[in-house]
């Protein structure tokens, strides 16, 4: 029997940041498949262009915009580009992030700490700061911010990343309280261990270059005993951005195969 794709995003415009990356790209594909027009945003302009065709293949309007999401002027510019392209912004997947250097807290480079906080946390604030006024003027919208299982647990060697991802949840909850009464929902996803280049970079350092050993080892932190795929995050993000999640607000959803809520032995 032929399966029918849900087209619940038809006529909606969504911004996806980190769209040259794995989770952003997979999510953009899920959203486009369901009918959304999409603005793909990333600091990696070539990566964006390389990803565009796969998203556009679903037949919706797809635009790209190169921006550093930690800089206010560039965030304003991507918001303006979405308005120019689509006339509205129904959703923001505030997802761009990077892992930063790996070092124990007492050795962690101070400038790197500031860079990662700006890259992963200030960017989330700025995205909401500049998209929410558009949503309020329209009468509503939905935002999903990307946290991590590192939003709820310490991860050795990654103090700046950890602090930024804990901060993402605080920003999400505060924004939900601020704008919930005015029709904008704000939630977060907390991906577990997901099969992406970002993970491979981290594993390379943590497991002395043996990335496959890293994947097997980290897979075991979840009862499903595997690492996740980017599309498994995208499906949850699409749900949270959709009207089906109309009473989900201020939530931080773990998409981690059960890693955060279990003790493995
Ligand atoms: N991969 C995992 O296991 C995992 C787990 C938990 C959380 N996350 C989070 O998921 C999000 C997506 O990561 P991914 O795994 O797809 O990694 P990825 O490296 O494939 O994608 C991240 C993208 O963000 C972009 N980016 C980074 N800083 C930017 C900036 N300042 N401005 C614009 N673009 C910027 C990068 O260019 C890249 O394309 C990140 O926030 C990451 O922290 C990933």
| CATH number, domain with residue 62 | 3.40.50.720
Residues 58 and 156 in one domain: yes
The model scores a pTM over 0.95: yes
Of the chain, the percentage scoring pLDDT greater than 70 comes to 98
Residues 73 and 110 in one domain: yes
Instruction: Return mean pLDDT, the chain.
Output: 96
Residues 248 and 130 in one domain: yes
Q: Which of 183, 182, 219 is nearest to 199 (CA)?
A: 219
Going by their DSSP bridges, the two strands 184-191 and 252-255 should be labelled as parallel
- Whether 112 maps to a domain, the answer reads yes
Q: Is the CB of 44 under 6 A from ligand 1?
A: yes
Convert the pLDDT of each residue in 156-184 to its tens digit: 999 999 999 999 999 999 999 999 999 99
Residues 89 and 218 in one domain: no
- Whether 259 maps to a domain, the answer reads no
Q: Which domain holds residue 218?
A: 193-227
Among protein residues, the one with the nearest Cα to ligand 1's atom 43 is 97
- Whether 264 maps to a domain, the answer reads no
- Total structural domains within the chain: 2
HSE, CB side, 13 Å, CA atoms: give it for residue 11. Answer: 1
- Whether 147 maps to a domain, the answer reads yes
Among protein residues, the one with the nearest Cα to ligand 1's atom 21 is 21
- Whether 4 maps to a domain, the answer reads no
Residues 198 and 187 in one domain: no
Contact 195, 215 (CB under 8 A): yes
Contact 43, 19 (CB under 8 A): no
Q: Is the CB of 145 under 6 A from ligand 1?
A: no
What does the pLDDT read at residue 4?
Answer: 65
What does the pLDDT read at residue 22?
Answer: 97
Catalytic choice (58, 78, 108, 161): 161
Residues 137 and 198 in one domain: no
Residues 107 and 220 in one domain: no
Contact 96, 123 (CB under 8 A): yes
- Whether 119 maps to a domain, the answer reads yes
Using the 8-state DSSP alphabet, how is residue 247 labeled? T
Q: How far is the CA of 97 from the centre of ligand 1 (A)?
A: 4
Q: Sign of torsion, CA 65 69 74 77?
A: positive
Q: Is 161 a catalytic residue?
A: yes
Residues 49 and 164 in one domain: yes
Q: How far is the CA of 262 from the centre of ligand 1 (A)?
A: 25
Residues 75 and 206 in one domain: no
Contact 221, 193 (CB under 8 A): yes
Residues 168 and 219 in one domain: no
Going by their DSSP bridges, the two strands 91-94 and 62-66 should be labelled as unpaired
What does the pLDDT read at residue 205?
Answer: 82
Residues 215 and 153 in one domain: no
Among protein residues, the one with the nearest Cα to ligand 1's atom 26 is 96
Residues 222 and 244 in one domain: no
- Whether 185 maps to a domain, the answer reads yes
Rounded CA separation 220/152 (Å): 18
Q: For residue 58, give both structure tokens.
A: 């679903």
Of the chain, the percentage scoring pLDDT greater than 90 comes to 91
What does the pLDDT read at residue 215?
Answer: 93
Convert the pLDDT of each residue in 123-151 to its tens digit: 999 999 999 999 999 999 999 999 999 99
Using the 8-state DSSP alphabet, how is residue 60 labeled? S
CA 38 to chain centre: 14
């Amino acid at each position: 029997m032929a399966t029918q794709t849900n087209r619940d995003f038809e006529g909606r415009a969504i911004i996806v940041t980190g769209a040259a990356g794995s989770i952003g790209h997979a999510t953009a594909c899920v959203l486009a498949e369901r009918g959304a027009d999409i603005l793909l945003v990333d600091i990696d302009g070539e990566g964006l262009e390389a990803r565009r065709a796969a998203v556009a293949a679903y037949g919706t309007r797809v635009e790209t915009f190169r921006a550093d999401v930690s800089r206010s002027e560039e965030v304003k510019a991507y918001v303006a580009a979405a308005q120019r392209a689509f006339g509205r912004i129904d959703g923001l997947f505030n997802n761009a992030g990077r892992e930063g250097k790996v070092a124990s807290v007492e050795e962690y480079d101070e400038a790197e700490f500031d860079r990662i906080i700006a890259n992963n946390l200030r960017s989330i604030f700025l995205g909401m700061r500049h998209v929410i006024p558009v949503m309020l003027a329209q009468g509503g919208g939905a935002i999903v911010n990307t946290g991590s299982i590192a939003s709820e647990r310490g991860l050795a060697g990654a103090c700046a990343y950890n602090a930024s991802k804990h901060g993402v949840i605080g920003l999400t909850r505060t924004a939900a309280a601020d704008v919930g009464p005015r029709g904008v929902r704000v939630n977060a996803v907390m991906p577990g261990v997901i099969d992406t280049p970002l993970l491979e970079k981290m594993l390379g350092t943590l497991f002395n270059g043996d990335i496959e050993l890293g994947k097997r080892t980290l897979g075991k932190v979840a009862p499903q005993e595997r690492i996740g795929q980017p599309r498994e995050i995208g499906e949850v993000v699409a749900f949270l951005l959709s009207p089906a999640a109309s009473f989900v607000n201020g939530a931080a959803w773990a998409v981690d195969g059960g890693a955060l809520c279990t003790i493995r032995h």
